[in-house]
Structure 1
Amino acid sequence: MGSLQGIYQQDPYLLQYRSLVTGSVSENGRNGIFLENTIFYPEGGGQPADSGTLVCARRSYEVLHVEERADGIVHWLAGTAAPEIGTTVFMAVDVARRRDHMQQHHGQHILSAILEQKHGWQTIGFHLGEETVTIDLTTRDIAPELLREVEEEVNHIVMENLPVKVENYRREELPESLLQKIPGDEEEIRLVIIPGIDENACCGTHPRSTGEVGPVKIVKTEKVRGNLRLHFICGSRTIRWMGQTAITLRNLEQAIGATGSEALSRLEKREAELKKLHKERKELLLLKYRWEAEQQESCAAMIGSLSVLVQHFAEADMEMLRGIAAVWCEKPGRLAVLAGGCGPSYDVVMAKGQAVSAAVNTLAVDIWPLLKGKGGGSPDIVQGKASELPLNEVKKRLAEALV
């Protein structure tokens, strides 16, 4: 029924078949077999491999991956067992995975054709991923309204249900414009053709008509190495995405208490209010931290010319400790070791102001063992966690280090 590599290309709808095991291979703890003929598509051209099962002598073997090599196509199997050479196996391709790959790959052909023919943006990269399909385009940006036009045109071609043809040509039979995209060592060229829309050299599995691609949705774009990467989905993936998007939208509308444009308006208003509250909170917290720092003036100890504050704030978290330390160290010649929380784990911040020559991260090397903790930072500020708070011992160690 065709050459070794021809079955899945000649008839991608043939999903069950019998063949003879002709060889085996073991590498890095994996076992694989070669078959006389195969309906499994091997990974290549940006399209992932098929998966499925092999059945031999009432035993089933899971096909995890399929790889094309110079000596044939390897079917990598789960586990350590494999059918013996010379036996016949019954192949069954994972139908849902094959259909998904056909939808995504052919959707890419249509999308790339529109982008190049109408706008001059060539596809220089293609990857069929588990979540989305991506193509890399020779442009840095595409306006959102233009992307919507492209998406609409692609879906129009899908809904026209145009026939998809697969034809083989000798290299000398093809025009130079098409040969520019084909490696020079390929003499037999397989073209996937949508009449009047696209002619593309491709080894992948494709449907009989564009309608089988199903709805196409451009999800997002991102800039990658000076080009634009476009994420999209087709067919069943789009339908699932639409269902999940509808659920998310309904949940958002319920949380906001409005629908449609009114929900968006309320959300924008709440966002503006939240930003205002965040700004006011930062201003109030600064006043709070400044007040707390002022209350500690009498608690600080003079070590040489430095004013050193070693204090525990039971109600403080890391944010509050950093805030108090920052205010305390605004004045030169000040150093702080502050702890927060009620245990058994405590937040710790060590910081210094100007005119303190000792580096805090160097001082911390001797302090962390006393606290039975650890952390990291810079010469100006260190933070971390502690399990004990022997603050008097900390004061003594600082006095020894700073004198």
Structure 2
Amino acid sequence: MTIKLYYEDPYIQTFSAKVIKQEQDYVVLSETAFYPTGGGQPHDTGTLNNISVTNIETIEGEIRHYLATNLPSDVGYVEGAIDWKRRFDHMQQHSGQHILSAAFDNLFGLKTVSFHLGKDSSTIDIDTSEVSGEQLQQVEDLANQIILENRTIETRWVTEEDLKDYKLRKATKVKEDIRLVLIPDFDDNACGGTHPRYTGQVGLIKILQTEKQKRMIRVEFVCGNRVISHLHRKQSIVSNLIQSLSSPEEKLEDAVKALLDNGKSFDKQMAYLKETLLQYEAKELIQNKQGRNIASTFQDRTIQELQKLAKLVTSESEESICILISENEDLLQLVAAKGKAVEQSMKQLMESILPLINGKGGGNETIAQGGGEKILSSEQLLEKALTNIHSL
């Protein structure tokens, strides 16, 4: 059985070990300082004999080290090195999770159901359907008070019988070799993860946001150095907004709200102007119609605009057939519509046109639409469409 040095001292950064098993994609060592994925905490990374360690997993009682390239077959011993920056970050986040979960439990009896330590932030799922902003603030304040007090974080190996002497925040299913992580007078928890020796080393805890997850509340948070990283990123965003909006920080919210309101007003005005323009275009098309057919080509018009324009035309000119085609990059899009006094089927007309451009479409007897490849020019396709009208 591999000796789990990461249990004994999470501050070990280098170590020597004997290779006791080497397979095609992993090795097993006599002892290791690498932490394998488990308990919501990702695996460590680092090197063995300067070869990158890409993954660590516990499988069938073995701690398997997966490497970027294989070790030479004759290697008997290896020198291991932990990526300390990643390890300490995980120590901060995991211990911060213990403190945060204990604060939810101690203050409001809210239990943590699950924990995920992510690359940029971490989350816990709380067994409740609702949590208030005031509760979140109280939890965050208590968590940071525990950090400020720099309490010891103790680890202790106990038996199942010993558990009666502790007030575990969450029951453990482990029956032997039980490892407890203890913050005196605050939190007793069974855990195999890596943790610093003092709460002060967690640095700081900041709750970022919450969201509902089925019948639970997911709490996103950051600890330690990640708080500084988030602050730097957000400060950069705020500084850019101050410059872009020419507004002091305390008035940014009002400036953004005014900008959004202006944007909504602008969108309404644009929609009105587009609708007015379509009405003028419809009148112009009707005035320039040849016989009962109204046809035209466009550049970069959406299928929705063509549909609206065709409907406006045929509502005013009930005896007409309207065919509109737009060239959009390498595509041709077209709409065919008819007025109430016309008998021909626009669906049938569209089905006769689309094969000419390897197109697809749909519609009904009154209006149909489709699109396809620009095999023909828009003018050539329009001419084909007008010819097909007479064959229906």
TM-score between the two structures when normalised by the length of structure 2: 0.86
Q: How many angstroms apart in 2 are the aligned matches of 1:225 and 1:114?
A: 23
Change (3 A) 1:15 1:378: farther
Deviation at 1:119, TM superposition (A): 1.4
Letter in 2 for 1:99: F
Alignment of 1:392 with 2:386, yes or no, is no
Q: Give the superposed CA RMSD.
A: 3.0
Q: How many angstroms apart in 1 are the aligned matches of 2:159 and 2:363?
A: 67
Note if contact 2:146-2:199 (Cα within 8 Å) is conserved in structure 1.
yes
Note if contact 1:337-1:348 (Cα within 8 Å) is conserved in structure 2.
no
Out of 44, 51, 54, the position equivalent to 1:50 is 44
Deviation at 1:314, TM superposition (A): 3.2
Note if contact 1:318-1:347 (Cα within 8 Å) is conserved in structure 2.
no
Change (3 A) 1:76 1:398: farther
State the aligned residue count: 382
Q: How does 1:182-221 map to 2 (within 5 A)?
A: 182-183=172-173, 185-221=174-210
TM-score between the two structures when normalised by the length of structure 1: 0.84
Q: How does 1:158-177 map to 2 (within 5 A)?
A: 158-175=147-164
Change (3 A) 1:75 1:268: same
Alignment of 1:370 with 2:356, yes or no, is yes
Corresponding residue number in structure 2 for 1:350:
335
Q: How many angstroms apart in 2 are the aligned matches of 1:398 and 1:77?
A: 69
Change (3 A) 1:20 1:263: same
Deviation per CA, 1:342-387: give whole Å up to 9, x if none.
x653552436589799685x86565344235x56676676455642
Out of 64, 68, 71, the position equivalent to 2:58 is 68
Alignment of 1:131 with 2:120, yes or no, is yes
Q: How many angstroms apart in 2 are the aligned matches of 1:333 and 1:47?
A: 72
Deviation at 1:125, TM superposition (A): 1.4
Q: How many angstroms apart in 1 are the aligned matches of 2:19 and 2:336?
A: 71
Unaligned runs of 5+ in 1: none
Deviation at 1:61, TM superposition (A): 1.3
Deviation at 1:133, TM superposition (A): 0.6
Q: How does 1:274-353 map to 2 (within 5 A)?
A: 274-297=263-286, 309-314=294-299, 316-317=301-302, 320-325=305-310, 327-328=312-313, 337-341=323-327, 345-346=330-331, 348-350=333-335
Note if contact 1:257-1:263 (Cα within 8 Å) is conserved in structure 2.
no
Deviation at 1:112, TM superposition (A): 0.8
Corresponding residue number in structure 2 for 1:229:
218
Letter in 1 for 2:11: Y
Note if contact 1:18-1:88 (Cα within 8 Å) is conserved in structure 2.
yes
Deviation at 1:323, TM superposition (A): 3.8
Counting aligned pairs with the same residue, the percent is: 31
Deviation at 1:330, TM superposition (A): 5.9
Q: How many angstroms apart in 1 are the aligned matches of 2:368 and 2:97?
A: 52
Unaligned runs of 5+ in 2: none
Note if contact 2:295-2:324 (Cα within 8 Å) is conserved in structure 1.
yes
Corresponding residue number in structure 1 for 2:26:
32
Note if contact 1:22-1:86 (Cα within 8 Å) is conserved in structure 2.
no
Deviation per CA, 1:175-232: give whole Å up to 9, x if none.
396396211x532211111111111111110111111112222122222222111111
Deviation per CA, 1:222-263: give whole Å up to 9, x if none.
222221111111111111110011110000011110112223
Of stretches 274-283 and 313-322 in structure 1, the one that deviates more from structure 2 is: 313-322
Q: How many angstroms apart in 2 are the aligned matches of 1:248 and 1:300?
A: 55
Q: How many angstroms apart in 1 are the aligned matches of 2:192 and 2:11?
A: 15
Q: How many angstroms apart in 2 are the aligned matches of 1:376 and 1:194?
A: 67
Q: How many angstroms apart in 2 are the aligned matches of 1:359 and 1:161?
A: 78
Deviation at 1:327, TM superposition (A): 3.6
Report SS of the residue matched to 2:309: helix
Note if contact 1:347-1:384 (Cα within 8 Å) is conserved in structure 2.
yes
Deviation at 1:326, TM superposition (A): 5.1
Q: How many angstroms apart in 2 are the aligned matches of 1:277 and 1:43?
A: 52
